[in-house]
Amino acid sequence: MPHPLDDRAFVTRNDPKGMLALTEGFPAQCRRALQIADAAGLSALETRPGLTMLTGLGGSAAGGDFARAIFENSGSTPFLVNRDYHLPHFIRQGDLVFAASYSGNTEETLSAYADAHRAGARIIAVTSGGKLGAQARSDGHDVIEIPGGQPPRTALGYMLIPVLAASRRLGLIPDQDFEGAFARIEKNLSEWGVGTPVETNPTKQLALALHGKLAVIYGLGGWQAVIASRWKGQINENSKNLAFPNVFPELCHNEVLGWVGAGDQGVSDWIAVILEDGSESNKMRARAAIVERLTGSLVEYHHVKAQGQTLLEKMLSLTFFGDFVSIYLAALSGVDPEDMTWLIRMKEELAAVAD
């Protein structure tokens, strides 16, 4: 008898807004985002920025974390991500700021945009419109306008690829193998989609392992930690489950000791997932092995390895894996993956609070 996760009707029975379909559309979204970015008439840099920053919140800021990893690997300027109402004091004239808000109405991003404008920064708004798009155009800044109408967490392609394409065009990062990365996740779609049965589908297998458990997601290095945070957010929002990310080697200096007394804290219901590149140093691999050996009697470990050759390819494939896990986990949990009732309630209450 087929497993319920192999039945599209089961996976979508609590999915009236089509979150599964939006997840499946990620490869096509990335391709469309590149077309939009390449068609945007960005003006050239007058001077090379001393600093590049993306300011945004939630799913709109996720692209910034990915871009930061690309910049750290091969960029020519520092890249920071800001998640606040205000920019750091050190932002100056000539610095480059990506103001990223999928809706264009995120209050924190609008406030940070105003800071960037007052500072004389070069601004590129990435948005589907809203107040941000209108204000940026009025102020004479570049706008890369992307399609709207879906939850920001399903719009990573739209929020990331334009930032990378613009940075490449402005000479801040080298050429990226977009085609190779997009082809990889198109292949992953056939491997991890509903049509691939549980027996040969690792995303479904991991969702089953996580069902009813609490996940700790460990990135085996810096860029892997970016993906761990993405997984955490997707599990939170789509499956309405808690998850906690951390990163090697930092966790070897603190969190590993937390496991000593974890047996008294119900960790028999916890699962650890280590996200790997596959080319980590001997020291880094040893750290993961030692931590797993020390804590393995307390928590069940799973490993997920990135696919591909380039950093972009690896990041997108490992992200796509986690997206499917979160959707299948939502189906197993019987929840609507799109539902944002608590977030909406919070925003409504915040709207009544004075600045």
245 and 225 in contact (C-beta within 8 Å)?
yes
End-to-end CA distance of the chain: 58
260 class by beta-carbon count within 10 Å (0-12 exposed, 13-18 middle, 19+ buried): exposed
253 catalytic? Reply is: yes
Which of 24, 108, 145, 237 is flagged as catalytic? 237
One-letter amino acid of 225: A
179 class by beta-carbon count within 10 Å (0-12 exposed, 13-18 middle, 19+ buried): exposed
Paired tokens of 24: 């499946």
117 catalytic? Reply is: no
One-letter amino acid of 122: R
Q: What share of the chain is helix, strand, coil (3-state, %, to 5)?
A: 55, 15, 30
Beta strands in 180-269 (DSSP E): 214-219, 243-247
181 and 308 in contact (C-beta within 8 Å)?
yes
272 and 300 in contact (C-beta within 8 Å)?
yes
Which of 46, 199, 253, 283 is flagged as catalytic? 253
237 catalytic? Reply is: yes
Beta strands in the chain (DSSP E): 52-55, 79-82, 96-101, 122-127, 142-145, 214-219, 243-247, 270-276, 300-305
Cis omega (within 30 of 0) on the bond before 152? no
Which residues are tagged catalytic?
Answer: 237, 253, 347
